[in-house]
Amino acid sequence: MPVPLIDRIYEAAFVPEFWPSVLDDMAAMSGSVSGAVLVFSGIDQPPLYRTTDYTRASLHEFTTTERWRESRRAEALFKNIITGDFSSFQYLNDHMSAEQLAGDSVARSLRELGLEAQATTVIPLFSGEVVSFTFERRAGEGRHSAEALAMLDKTRPHLARSGLMAAKLRLERAEATVSALQAIGLPAAVLQKSGKVLATNILFDAAASLFLPRAFGRVALADAAAETLFRNAVEASAPHDRPVVRSIPVAASETTQACVVHILPLCRSAHDIFSSGDMLIAATAVGAHLQVPQASILTGLFDFSPAEVKLAIGLASGASVNDAAVQNGITVKTARTYLERLFAKTGTHRQSDLVALLKTASPLGF
């Protein structure tokens, strides 16, 4: 039986030599011929990357010569993170001027390879890095179908969690449990399916007000609403068991900063690297702000679909459900359906609580 794609996405986070085969399969499923994952630490240095065979030589040349300095894409990419234009798969060309495209070394490289339409999504991380996934089609084939983009968008929450680990490990292989947990640089622990803790790092041990010990070596979240979502995610340890929330918001308390706890299944080779553990949990902190949250941050922190993100931003801006529905061109009934999904994914039950939580969503490291 073929190994589910989502399992392989999580495996590649810790064993990055598997990214090319994962990207190849995602490319085939989306009508593309190539794909890549790139980790940017800033516009003043070339990105780290893993890619498929089709673009490997080109990306190697791009990152090891001065061609990366000639790219105008990073400039447009980082600028549009703020507006959240890439919280789903989009086309960067649509956000670049004719002048930028004319002088862009990436556009030139794509033309040299006989490629044209490039679908891109961007995942900004709390620590300042930006993870990007791209999928390219041959020149003359036109853009991806709406169905293909929807399929790619469906994988985005998994790509975001996997991208977080890939960036923290700098697209290097996790070699052993202890060193890998330290390298992640976040409060993190390895759990069995039963919830029993196998290993932790120093940052996890220091987060005693967030994680509570339970009988038989298990762990729980101190926040009651978050604990319900956390327990559901732990019990559904395989990513394809059933739809569950795997990025869980935890509200701020007197002793704990607002944060999001991520649950990453440890599949196949990653299972062996982490002492036969079944899942890794890691916490990323967020800061309390009064601004409207960015779409790209919401999709990076929570398992929101693009449509749910639009409604969430409308509500956080002060709009009623009816007004947000009008703004997004949907019916009030559909908006209420999205609102119920937002409640389920955040563990909230009232619109005021949801909005208060959403306004904590800005990147900030522990």
Spatial CA neighbour of 164 closest among 131, 188, 134: 131
Full-model pTM: 0.80
What class has domain 5-168? alpha beta
Contact 187, 204 (CB under 8 A): yes
In the CATH scheme, what is the code of domain 177-285?
3.30.450
pLDDT in tens, 202-232: 999 999 999 999 988 999 999 888 898 899 8
Mutual angle of helices 177-184 and 146-168, in 10-degree steps = 110
Question: From CA 185, how far away is CA 259, in angstroms rounded?
Answer: 15
List per-residue pLDDT tens for the chain, 366 residues long.
Answer: 356 899 999 999 999 999 999 999 999 999 999 999 999 887 778 999 999 999 999 999 999 998 888 888 777 666 655 445 667 898 988 888 888 888 888 988 999 999 999 999 988 776 678 899 999 999 999 999 999 999 999 898 889 889 989 988 888 888 888 788 888 888 999 999 888 999 999 999 999 999 999 988 999 999 888 898 899 889 886 555 556 778 888 877 888 887 889 899 998 899 888 888 999 999 987 655 545 566 656 665 667 877 888 898 889 888 999 999 999 999 999 999 999 988 888 777 888 878 877 766 544 334
Residue 213 forms beta bridges with which residues? 219
In the CATH scheme, what is the code of domain 295-358?
1.10.10.10
Tell me where in the chain the CATH 3.30.450.80 domain(s) lie.
Answer: 5-168
Average pLDDT, the chain: 85
Tell me where in the chain the CATH 1.10.10.10 domain(s) lie.
Answer: 295-358
